[in-house]
Structure 1
Amino acid sequence: MGVCPCSHASLSHCESCTSCSSSTKKRKQGQKDDTNGARKRARNDVERIRWGYSLDLMLYDDPWKIKKVLQKSDLGNMSRLLLSKDLAENLVLHVLNADERRDAETGIGTEISIWDLDTNSMHSLLFKRWGSSKSYVFIDKWVQDFVKRRHLKEGDEVAFHWDPYNHHFAFTVLQVF
């Protein structure tokens, strides 16, 4: 509390003058706004935990969840693009049906359609677990349809994402080395 500038209350704010009552109202309004903001943030946190989404404003969500900086082994004669176990299990196996998932996990492999966004062309690769390792690969025509055709080289960054409306993966080159 401060000293009231009006003459009828010298030691504390009064409720009768305009100067004192407006500053008191502003202070109370600010406290109310802070309380409402805290309630809103808490409600958003509860919703995010319960339903797995947020009510907070998001300006951009990168759709390219599977990203890979190409290494020499991805470009060679083995004709394969190696994906980590985590990427494959969370982002590729997750969108396959039960039969496709079983074939991929057992090493038989399942055919995956891939739309190249940059060249507007559809391709097909075999997706499967790589030998006894815990990694997964896209094989068959990887080198022919992507590496050679797109002139990919070591250090280039490529990306994939699942297109749920067209039921295929989309592919793009994010960065050329």
Structure 2
Amino acid sequence: MIKTLFYTFLQTKDEEDNANSTDFNHPLCPQEIEIRPITHSPWEIIRTLSIDEVWTGGKFQFPLEQIWNAMLRHQPRDVMPLTNVMIGSFQIPVNDLDTNTFHSVTLWKYPHENTFAMRESWIEEFVKRRRLVAGMVVGMYWDFDAHMLCFSVLEGSE
């Protein structure tokens, strides 16, 4: 919490009624208050990695609604046809913010599942390269200016 002074510029109704109507100079009343700084967290997707997401045959799954809210609504219509998104796979660029490296991962969508999944590219490009283990917290957000997913390890040692 941050302590600061808050100045009251307007009078309350009681102060206004009791004040002299010809005197427009009323004292400023500073009050010490505490404010909580609001820091914008860009992380639209925050996940504590499970053992299913870091083993060799594992996959990182995203609920359909999470993928739509985080990135698909920002994609230009000509870049990604809707039919390819709803069934099949598509490539997305990923910026690893911790290592400042760029990767391409494949998001898979099967017709009977309501999720998208990163499989082989997730294991090769992130789990093995970054030595990710279960219990680490990772964050992702879609950079709609650069049209890419941004990735970072938020908690856990490498």
TM over 0.5: yes
Aligned counterpart in structure 2 of residue 143 of structure 1, from 111, 119, 123: 123
More strand by share: 2
Aligned 8 A contact 1:103 1:128 in 2: no
Structure 2 partner of 1:63: 42
* Distance change (3 Å), C-alpha of 1:64 and 1:82: same
- SS of the residue aligned with 2:135? coil
Secondary structure of the corresponding residue to residue 98 of structure 2? coil
Unaligned runs of 5+ in 2: 1-14, 25-36
Question: Does structure 1 conserve the Cα–Cα contact (< 8 Å) formed by 2:49 and 2:133?
Answer: yes
Structure 1 residue 172 displacement after superposition: 0.2
**Pair member with larger Rg:** 1
Residue aligned with 2:41, SS: coil
Q: Is the partner of 2:71 in helix, strand or coil?
A: helix
Structure 1 pair 154–130 and aligned structure 2 pair: CA distance change class (3 A): farther
Looking at structure 2, the residues matched to 167 and 105 of structure 1 have their Cα atoms a distance apart, in angstroms, of 19
Percent identical residues: 24
Of 50, 60, 66, which residue of structure 2 is paired with 1:81?
60
Tell me: higher relative CO, structure 1 or 2? Use CA pairs within 8 A at least 6 residues apart: 2
TM-score by length of 1: 0.62
Two-structure CA RMSD over aligned residues (Å): 2.7
SS across alignment from 1:63 = coil
Quote how far apart the aligned CAs of 1:93 are. 2.1
TM-score, normalised with respect to structure 2: 0.69
Is 1:122 the equivalent of 2:116? no
Detail structure 1 runs of 4+ shifted over 4 Å in the superposition. none
Q: 2:142 aligns with which of 158, 162, 167?
A: 162
The one-letter code of the counterpart of 1:83 is: F
Q: 2:18 aligns with which of 18, 24, 31?
A: 24
1:90 aligns to what SS in structure 2?
Answer: helix
In structure 1, stretches of 5+ residues that fail to align are 1-20, 30-57
User: 1:75-122: per-residue Cα shift (whole Å, max 9, x none)?
Assistant: 123342111232122113222333624312112x11100000100100
Residue 175 (str. 1) matches residue 142 (str. 2):
no
CA offset at residue 24 of structure 1? 0.9
- 1:23, CA displacement in angstroms? 7.8
